[in-house]
């Protein structure tokens, strides 16, 4: 049951010290941290490096949702220093003169790429989900380390995992956005991303423990069900 | 011929003073400035406010290419202060729980929204251009102030202008990305966006003047042609 991990999303701009405390406290229980654009804009890459020092063993992801041309994305990435293990970009922008070049630059800097496969909010159904066949071609060309697929629509997580078993799937949408802990993991995600449900809780550590408990309960059920299915419809 | 304006793209992280000089020098010739994510990450929103003071009469656009959920985009926008008149976001993320809410927040803060309709690099043909019909529905729902459409593929600028005559079209791709000055304007764009061709030139002011000259030459030809077409195929 240790296969699925929790990644904490840190988005809201707050004093660095507050997040340093939160990271130190949750380090170990959370196996990864995802720093969003608003927080990065306010603490800067140097601040992110300081944050990282509070939990070096976790995976650190810069959630910039990059969606620009090659030239601009390269400039952005060059500012990140040594704060992150991976960077999130949108698959939607295509490989040519964009994600292909970004992959190369990240490789040079010892970072990995995670591509948004679809998003967690209702609006994602308006364009993203309808264009998944085209997005698939981009994913096949770029072959990123990770894929971001929404726990709010677990069928998309399943699709990502079925098509790209080699990719690490990060699944946002747990908690404030409505998905129950474990939904992403049951659909095959390696990381479930939780944000406000922990960071905005009066007692974040307690909230995180509660989420992990719920996740484990759901996982034990869905795994038993998968086992049952395997046994009876082999 | 004053209908089409030049907007300077400032992307590369450099000392603030350097850009302050560039803006003061080009103010008036350039009718707008677009600040990219890499520069904003390095000078911060406070730095952008200082830049703006060098040319208050121009239109200032934050080119963040926002493509996230409502919650995160709101947080990002709340950091911008009074540096910008407009913010660029991606149309492909959809209206529901995303661009609709972003529009409202921007309105509260006295800012305008410009949506990316398609992008200027070759990779945009892989997904973006193929999904334009869905993107159209988002544009119709959100009715943004501006649309970003690539001068490198003028047919897309024409399409944007034909479908949304009320929108201000910003057209990137002039110069380093290969489109000739005037291509976007001839297709109907209100602003042509030029970046490296000016900012990386040994003499930026001279380079900008040269681009405006070239733009005017091309515009006078395409307008005469349009006149001719109107007269003979009424």
pLDDT at A234 exceeding the cut of 90: no
pTM of the model: 0.95
Determine the pLDDT at residue A119: 94
The one catalytic residue in A31, A50, A57, A65 is A65
pLDDT at B174 exceeding the cut of 50: yes
Closest CA to A67 of A92, A84, A44: A92
Kindly state whether B95 is in contact with chain A, defined as any CB-CB distance less than 8 angstroms: yes
Closest CA to A192 of A224, A129, A149: A149
pLDDT at B2 exceeding the cut of 50: no
Q: What is the pLDDT of residues B98-116, one digit of tens each?
A: 999 999 999 999 999 999 9
Q: Under a CB-based contact definition with an 8 Å cutoff, are residues A190 and A203 in contact?
A: no
Residue recorded with tokens 């209908």: B3
**d(C-alpha A38, C-alpha B72), whole Å:** 7
Mean pLDDT of B58-69: 98
Mean pLDDT of B183-193: 95
Please return the burial class of A224, using the count of CB atoms within 10 Å of its CB with bins 0-12, 13-18 and 19+: exposed
CA angle A207, A211, A212 (to 5 degrees): 120
Determine the pLDDT at residue B157: 96
Q: What is the pLDDT of residues A35-57, one digit of tens each?
A: 999 999 999 999 999 999 999 99
Region of A81 (left: φ > 0; alpha: ψ -120 to 50; beta: rest) is: left
pLDDT at A33 exceeding the cut of 60: yes
Determine the pLDDT at residue A132: 96
Band of residue B230 on the pLDDT scale cut at 50, 70, 90 = low
| Pairing relationship of beta strands B112-116 and B86-90 according to DSSP bridges | parallel
Are A128 and B44 inside 8 Å of each other by CB? no
DSSP B156-190: HHHHHHHH-TTSEEEEEEESTTSBPTTHHHHTT-S
Start-to-end C-alpha separation, chain B: 23
| Pairing relationship of beta strands B5-10 and B86-90 according to DSSP bridges | unpaired
**d(C-alpha B131, C-alpha B96), whole Å:** 18
Look at residue A35 and give its three-state secondary structure: strand
Residues of A in contact with B120 (CB under 8 A): 69
pLDDT at A127 exceeding the cut of 80: yes
Residue of A90, A94, A130 with shortest CB distance to B67? A90
Band of residue A3 on the pLDDT scale cut at 50, 70, 90 = low
Band of residue A82 on the pLDDT scale cut at 50, 70, 90 = very high
Region of B113 (left: φ > 0; alpha: ψ -120 to 50; beta: rest) is: beta
3-state secondary structure B56-122: CCCEEEEEEEECCCHHHHHHHHHCCCCCCCEEEEEHHHCHHHHHHHHHHHHHHCCCEEEEECCCCCH
Chain A interface test: which of B19, B66, B80, B92 (most A C-beta within 10 Å): B92
**d(C-alpha B144, C-alpha B151), whole Å:** 20
Determine the pLDDT at residue A219: 92
Q: B233 versus B16: which is more confidently predicted? A: B16
Element (H, E) at A40: helix A37-53
**d(C-alpha B176, C-alpha B195), whole Å:** 8
Mean pLDDT of B129-151: 97
Residue of A100, A127, A196 with shortest CB distance to B92? A127
Q: Under a CB-based contact definition with an 8 Å cutoff, are residues A195 and A168 in contact?
A: no
Determine the pLDDT at residue B225: 75
Positions of B marked active-site: 65
Q: Under a CB-based contact definition with an 8 Å cutoff, are residues B11 and B19 in contact?
A: no
Q: Under a CB-based contact definition with an 8 Å cutoff, are residues A75 and B36 in contact?
A: yes
| Token couple for A149 | 């697929």
**d(C-alpha B120, C-alpha B220), whole Å:** 24
**d(C-alpha A91, C-alpha A114), whole Å:** 9
Determine the pLDDT at residue A147: 98
**d(C-alpha A44, C-alpha A51), whole Å:** 11
pLDDT at B226 exceeding the cut of 90: no
Band of residue B1 on the pLDDT scale cut at 50, 70, 90 = very low
Mean pLDDT of B166-178: 94
Look at residue A154 and give its three-state secondary structure: helix
**d(C-alpha A24, C-alpha A20), whole Å:** 6
Band of residue B177 on the pLDDT scale cut at 50, 70, 90 = confident
Kindly state whether A200 is in contact with chain B, defined as any CB-CB distance less than 8 angstroms: no
CB < 8 Å from B in window 109-138 of A: 116, 119-128, 130-131, 134-135, 137-138
Phi, then psi, of A153 in degrees rounded to 5: -130, 80
Tell me A33's DSSP state.
Answer: E
Band of residue A230 on the pLDDT scale cut at 50, 70, 90 = low
Residues contacting residue A47 through CB under 8 Å, at least 6 positions apart: A16
Mean pLDDT of A190-208: 97
Size of interface A-B (CB pairs under 8 A): 170
Q: Under a CB-based contact definition with an 8 Å cutoff, are residues A144 and A115 in contact?
A: yes
**d(C-alpha A73, C-alpha A77), whole Å:** 6
Residues contacting residue A35 through CB under 8 Å, at least 6 positions apart: A10, A11, A48, A51, A60, A61, A62, A63, A83, A84
């Amino acid at each position: 049951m240790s296969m699925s991990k929790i990644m904490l999303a840190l988005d809201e701009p707050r004093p660095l010290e507050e997040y340093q405390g939160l990271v130190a406290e949750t380090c170990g229980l959370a196996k990864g941290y995802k720093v969003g654009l608003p927080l990065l804009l306010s603490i800067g890459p140097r601040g992110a490096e300081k944050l990282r020092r509070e939990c070096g063993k976790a995976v650190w992801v810069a959630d910039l949702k990059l969606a620009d041309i090659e030239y601009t994305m390269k400039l952005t990435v060059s500012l990140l220093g040594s704060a992150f293990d991976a960077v999130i970009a949108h698959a939607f922008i295509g490989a040519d003169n964009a994600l292909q070049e970004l992959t190369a630059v990240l490789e040079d800097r010892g970072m990995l790429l995670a591509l948004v496969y679809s998003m967690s909010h209702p609006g994602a159904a308006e364009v993203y989900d309808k264009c998944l066949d085209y997005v698939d071609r981009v994913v096949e060309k770029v072959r990123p380390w990770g894929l971001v697929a929404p726990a709010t629509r677990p069928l998309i997580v399943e699709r990502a995992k079925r098509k790209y078993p080699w990719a690490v799937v990060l699944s946002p949408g747990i908690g404030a956005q409505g998905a129950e802990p474990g939904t992403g993991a049951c659909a095959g995600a390696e990381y479930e991303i939780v944000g406000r449900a922990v960071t905005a809780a009066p007692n974040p550590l307690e909230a995180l423990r509660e989420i992990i408990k719920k996740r484990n309960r759901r996982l034990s059920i869905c795994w038993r069900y998968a086992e049952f299915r395997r046994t009876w419809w082999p």
